[in-house]
Amino acid sequence: MRFIPLFALCAALLPLSVLAQTAPLSTYVNDHLLPPQRPWHGTDEALMQTGDSRWATPFEQSGGIRSPSYQETMQWLDKLMSDSSGLEKVSLGLSPQGRDIWMYIASDEGAKTPQELQANHKPTVLVQAGIHGGEIDGKDAGMMLLRDIFQGEKRQLLEHVNLLFVPILNVDGHERSGEYNRVNQRGPVQMGWRSNSQNLNLNRDYAKADTLEIQSMLRAINNWDPQLYIDVHVTDGLDYQYDITFGYNTAEGLSPNIYQWFTQNYRPQIEQALTAAGHTPGPLVFTVDNTDLSKGLKLWHPSPRFSDGYGDARHLPTVLIENHSLKPFKQRVLGTYVLLEQTLRTVGEQATRLQAAIEKDRYRYPQLLTLTWEQEQQPTTRDFLGIAYTVEHSAISGANVVHWNGEAKLYPQLPLFGDTKEGLRVSRPAAYYIPPQWQKVIQRLTLHGIRMETLQQPTTLTLQQYRLSNPQFGQSSFEGHQRLQANSKLEKAAVTLPAGTVEIPTDQPLGDLAVMLLEPQSPDSLLQWGFFNNIANRTEYIEDYAIEPLAQQMLAQQPELKKAFEQALKDPAFAADPKARLRWFYERSPYFDQEYLLYPVYRSRERGQ
């Protein structure tokens, strides 16, 4: 006879809302695997409506432990929309599996189009949830907030600001749902999947823009022109006291004025609101070593493949929210609600200052741009609200493993490191030119919203072009690409560009983004993402029987070449490699492919030159 534990029997008979309140330590199947919970109660718990309320969200109906499916989410939001003046929706596009990616438009005027929204001359906040399907806190917080705006007492939030809300970006990953999807995360009961249905990570896709989901989002950004973009995540990693952490671009990035607005105006107000509601807000948490906090913390300086790094490159203020995965789902959702509500208030109040910061960054046009950054220790330290832990040697892994004990502990004056030292820098060209055969590249740049002009007839110009050397391909596929890195050297080139070539000026609001995508040494350039890999293909060859007499002729006629060959033979590896010796002559002959490893993107120092 199989005995059923008393709690399990009671749980089967209780409503979910009661279960969530009576058994907070045994709500999720992975609770027994995770560090101890710290008790939490906040004033924002009063935001939750009872399960029998007409406008209770599915999250509230479950007592704060479940998140609704895609269908349930859209049904609830559509019901709210049908009974609310000022709430509209539009499909941003279809997912790979054919689901609509819906965006809800909240404005006092009931705007339905970008033109109508911009006509009210208010700043617009775009909130995106579920870029990782299992990290869904923003969806449930946004549903509650929209309810309270249109059916509660918070309609005044829209007096000075518009809200665009994408409840689920990764709709296919969201529907790959189960109890066992994220072992490190405390709820909801059913969680979606991190990647999309093509197993691609959407938050690695902003620069290369492969996925339908990110392509849809980029079009939305271009069309709806938000002044603030919020991307809601849930963390991985270690245990600590902070429950709502958030960050944005660094002072050293491409949008220094936006950074100043964030630090001087946004963060103080958001942290004050969260603290008043009973939360423990903080900056994004990255450590040097999760098993030894004394080694210090790291700043987050993202590249354009990430949402906030992309926002930095295109001068779109972007907030990355990382709720702490070890905090209960209800606590995280309510904290996100408070953050979003205060964001609307702050942006409405600070609209002029925010727009001024955006304009300053969009039209800075620095003559030197930093492509790579190196890590250095910062002059300041940081006090860290952590959790006490012990480190034990694991007989299973053979390495040290951390055990968090749930007790609050202050780690004072931890050293702070960050990628803030300038690495490789590049001069800003007046324009780039891309020949028409590179349509895939041109289409991606167009998708980003980068302005370009098309040459209507062949045009001869003196330009610069990179010659690549020492190409190194990735040993494995990364996000569907074989990445490429190579050394590069600028050469002067007199070229006749065919009709259809596009000219991309860099004195435009997205000029910095164009530089980041087209400079070969930029870590998220389209070259490094593999869009130009075929320039490293060799398609014409010369046989040994032909190169041998050619080499003899070259040695006889070119004394300097003979000296260079004799010098090359001093390398034992080269001297012992017959193929390398013959290739040496081929590469110096007029038969060699002069376009091999020649990067087919031209630079001009002045427009039209």
Pairing between β-strand 228-234 and β-strand 318-323 as defined by DSSP bridges: parallel
Identify whether 435 is preceded by a cis peptide bond (ω within 30 of 0).
no
Burial label, 114 (beta-carbon count in 10 A; 0-12, 13-18, 19+): middle
Section 344-372 average pLDDT:
97
Q: CA separation (Å) from 417 to 217, 293, 377? A: 32, 13, 4
Residue 606: pLDDT band (50, 70, 90) is: confident
Rounded Cα–Cα distance for residues 563 and 588 (Å):
14
Quick one: average pLDDT of 462-480? Answer: 95
Provide the pLDDT confidence category of residue 10 given band limits of 50, 70 and 90: very low
- Neighbouring CB atoms inside 10 A of 500's CB total 16
The whole-number average pLDDT for the span 412-420 is 97
CA proximity to 275, closest of 212, 339, 217: 339
Query: What is the separation of C-alpha 448 from the centre of its chain, rounded to a whole number of angstroms?
Result: 14
- pLDDT, residue 118, reads 96
How many residues does the structure list for the chain? Answer: 609
List pLDDT tens digits, range 307-351: 999 999 999 999 999 999 999 999 999 999 999 999 999 999 999
What angle separates helix 329-349 from helix 137-150, to the nearest 10 degrees?
60
In the structure encoding, which two tokens stand for residue 267, read together? Answer: 């963060």
Phi then psi dihedrals of residue 545, to 5 deg: -65, -20
Q: Mean pLDDT across the stretch 145-174?
A: 98
Confidence of residue 222 (pLDDT cuts 50, 70, 90): very high
Whether the pLDDT of residue 292 is over 90: the answer is: yes
Q: Which helix (H) or strand (E) covers residue 76, if one does?
A: helix 70-82
Asked if residue 607 has pLDDT above 90, the reply is: no
User: What confidence tier does 587 reach under pLDDT thresholds 50, 70, 90?
Assistant: confident
- Give the model's confidence band at 25: pLDDT under 50 very low, under 70 low, under 90 confident, else very high: low
Flag whether pLDDT at 9 surpasses 60: no
Residue 609's pLDDT is 60
Q: Name the token pair of 52.
A: 């029998």
Q: What is the mean pLDDT of residues 247-261?
A: 97
What is the per-residue DSSP string for 192-236? --SS-TTS--GGG-TTT--SHHHHHHHHHHHHH--SEEEEEEE--
Between residues 606 and 558, which one has the greater pLDDT?
Answer: 558
Q: Indicate whether 22 pLDDT > 80.
A: no
CATH of 68-360, one of 3.30.300.350, 3.20.20.190, 3.40.630.10, 2.60.40.1120: 3.40.630.10
For every residue of 368-408, DSSP letters joined together read EEE--EEEEEEEEEEEEEEEEEEEEE-TTTSSEEEEEEEEE
Mean pLDDT of the chain: 94
pLDDT at 3 over 60: no
Residues of the chain above pLDDT 70, percent: 95
Other CB atoms within a 10 A radius of the CB of residue 324 amount to 25
Q: What is the pLDDT of residues 545-568, one digit of tens each?
A: 998 999 999 999 999 999 999 999
Percent of the chain at pLDDT > 90 equals 89
Query: Does 6 have pLDDT greater than 50?
Result: no
Domain boundaries, the chain: 68-360, 424-538+597-604, 544-587
Rounded distance between C-alpha atoms, residue 240 and residue 139, angstroms: 24
